[in-house]
Structure 1
Amino acid sequence: MEKKYLIGNWKMYKTTKEAIAFMQQLLPTLEAIDTGSLGVFLAPSFVHLSDMAKLIDRKGPIQLVAQNCHHEAEGAFTGEVSAAMLSTIKVSGVLIGHSERRMYQKEDNSLLAKKVKRVLKTGMQPFLCCGESLEDRKNGKHKTIVKQQLQESLCGMTPDEVAKLAVAYEPVWAIGTGEVASLDIITEMHYFIRQTLLEAYGGSIKVPILYGGSCNPQNAAAIFSAPNVAGGLIGGASLQVDSFIQLVKILLEKANDKAH
């Protein structure tokens, strides 16, 4: 069965006390579910990672993802966190180029390419985010923008390196807005991303493509059923244990349906 992914991106929410309480409620429920080939991840703030890591087993039902890291191995970069620091505290992957960082921190594709390589060097999995703005879509530039993001963020990488990462398609206009891309748009863009990667890195490459953009228990079944959708990068719906568990169960059900 193709591996599926569910990543809860907490962004700048929850205190450490709230994060620990969430984990203490989540873990027993999750351990009672046979997650099979489903990779379940949480991406909390940096300050929660160590405390949450103490509550999990690296081979357990849930793993940790960092929301960002610096592109250099180490150095005089006040306020930054290195990939090596993350890899030593049970962090399994790193979000790279989330639209909010592209927007607010002005991260460009060339910087993201360095981050992807740095994460790979430390043995973690990069989750590379891509997606167009509403203006890009209205102007018919959505495919051009997404292709450029992929090409430039993966510049100089080998097929073997690219095969180790995952891509998250997140239409900027559907993040935190309650707006959800139609199934036609999701299907079209996931197929386009798949073809872009195949053309660049060969017909045998299998990179999971996740959907991110106001995905919740009400619309997840339809989204996870779409072709080339290997799971979800979840924002608001990952902040409550009940809704996150619902998404786990929905994705597992759809994965099993496709397997049979």
Structure 2
Amino acid sequence: MKKKYLIANWKMYKTVQEATHFMEALLPQLKAIDGPELVLGIAPSFVHLPTIGALIGDKKSISPLSNSIQLVAQNCHHEAAGAFTGEVSAGILASIGVGGVLIGHSERRSYQKEDNLLLAKKIKRVLENGMQPFLCCGESLEARKSGSHQAVVQQQLQESLAGLTSKEIEKLAIAYEPVWAIGTGQVAGLDVITEMHTFIRKFLSDQCVSEKVPILYGGSCNPQNVKAIFNCPNVAGGLIGSASLQVDQFMKIVMALLE
């Protein structure tokens, strides 16, 4: 069975006390789940990574699924080291046990003006340090309405993956997140999700990349719609935002992915 992925992106939410309480409530609920094919990622704020990592480490014997929980960082800097006040390098993240890094989330593309060429540098840094990049891509509402959505996503992928070999690309995961559906409550239709995941799969195939590269969907997923979304072709899981902030809601999504 192919691995399935579920990444909880907490964004800039939760104090360390709230993050701790969340994990203390979540981990026991995983005890009854025998799902080693699921990779469950928790992406908290930078300052919470050591705390979450310690909690995960203490619970490694709870269930097979506990062994598949990995720390995921929401970002990293594109340089290996240097005088970059307030930034965190891929090497620093790897040194505290981080296993994956979100690259190019639409909020960073928008607010921090990150472009594809910068993201390509970040991907290389993450790979150099033995972590898995989760490359986010997706079109704006304007691009969707104008019919240029596929061209936009193709350019994002081409430029962000430039210079990588097919073997290096196979170490990534791709997260398709239509910008117009993130945090808006507006979910892409199943036809749109199927279309875009099929398009991304074909792009990867054209780069001589095997089908083992997971393609996740992100964009207002919730317990009510995830089962249908996860059943779409080429959807290997989800990048979950607001619905990952409450344990009960997140566990419903976990169970939907395992069904």
1:89 aligns with 2:96: yes
Q: Which amino acid aligns with 2:226?
A: A
Q: What pairs up with 1:46-85 in 2 under 5 angstroms? A: 46-57=46-57, 60-85=67-92
CA drift of 1:32 comes to 2.5
Task: Give, in whole Å, the separation in 2 of the partners of 1:199 and 1:60.
Answer: 34
- Structure 2 unpaired stretches of 5+: 61-65
CA distance in 2, matches of 1:197, 1:37: 22
CA contact (8 A) 2:201 2:211 kept: no
Q: Is the 8 A contact 1:169 1:190 kept in 2?
A: yes
**Deviation of 1:31 (Å):** 2.7
Shift in Å, 1:205:
4.6
Distance 1:126 1:65 in 2: 9
Alignment: residue pair count: 252
1:237 is matched with 243
TM norm structure 1: 0.95
CA deviation profile, 1:111-130 (whole Å, cap 9, x unmatched)? 00000010000000000000
Deviates more, 1:14-23 or 1:52-61: 52-61
What is the distance in 2 between the residues matched to 1:134 and 1:206?
Answer: 30
Distance (Å, rounded) in 2 between the aligned partners of 1:71 and 1:35:
34
Give the C-alpha shift of residue 56 in structure 1.
Answer: 1.1
Alignment of 1:155-194 (within 5 A): 155-194=162-201
Determine if the alignment matches structure 1 residue 25 to structure 2 residue 25.
Answer: yes
Aligned residues of 2:75 and 2:101 also touching (Cα < 8 A): yes
Report the Cα distance in structure 2 between the residues aligned to 1:61 and 1:93, rounded to whole angstroms: 12
- How does the TM-score come out when normalised to structure 2? 0.95
Could you list the per-position Cα deviations for residues 192-236 of structure 1 after superposition, in whole angstroms to 9, with x for gaps in the alignment?
00001111234x353100000000100001000000000000001
1:114 aligns with 2:131: no
User: Which position in structure 2 is the counterpart of 1:130?
Assistant: 137
Task: Check the 8 A contact 1:9/1:42 in 2, yes or no.
Answer: yes
CA RMSD, 1 decimal: 1.0
Residues 159, 205 of structure 1: 8 Å contact kept? no
State the match for 2:63 in structure 1. none
Alignment-derived partner of residue 258 in structure 1: none
Amino acid at match of 1:136: A
1:61 Cα deviation from its structure 2 partner = 4.2
